[in-house]
Amino acid sequence: MAERLSNREGIKGMANPTRYGILRVAYWLQRLSGLGLLAYLIGHIYETSTILNGKAAWDNMLSLTETPGGHIVLVIVIGMCVFHTGNGIRVMISEGGKGVGKPGQPEYPYRASSLNSKQRLCIWVSIALAALAMMYGAGVLFGN
Q: Of 29, 30, 75, 137, which one interacts with another protein (CB under 8 A)? A: 30
Applying CB under 8 A, does 117 fall inside the site for another protein? no
Residue 33 or 119 having the CB closest to another protein = 119
Cα separation of 127 and 76, whole Å?
A: 13
The window from 7-15, 37-45, 77-85, 134-142 that contacts another protein (CB under 8 A) reads 7-15
117-143 helix and 68-95 helix, angle to the nearest 10 degrees: 160
Report how far residue 87's alpha carbon sits from residue 92's, in angstroms, rounded to the nearest whole number.
9
Closest CB 92 distance from another protein, rounded Å = 10
Task: Give start and end residues of each alpha helix (H) in 50-116.
Answer: 55-65, 68-95
From the list 4-12, 47-55, 72-80, 125-133, the region that binds another protein by CB under 8 A is: 4-12
Count of residues interacting with another protein (CB under 8 A): 41
DSSP H stretches of helix in the chain: 2-6, 10-14, 22-49, 55-65, 68-95, 117-143
Using CB under 8 A, which of 37, 73, 100, 141 touches another protein?
A: 100
Q: Minimal CA–CA distance to 131: which of 93, 80, 94?
A: 80
Per CB under 8 A, residues contacting another protein are 1, 4-11, 13-14, 19-21, 23-24, 26-27, 30, 91, 94-98, 100-108, 110-115, 119
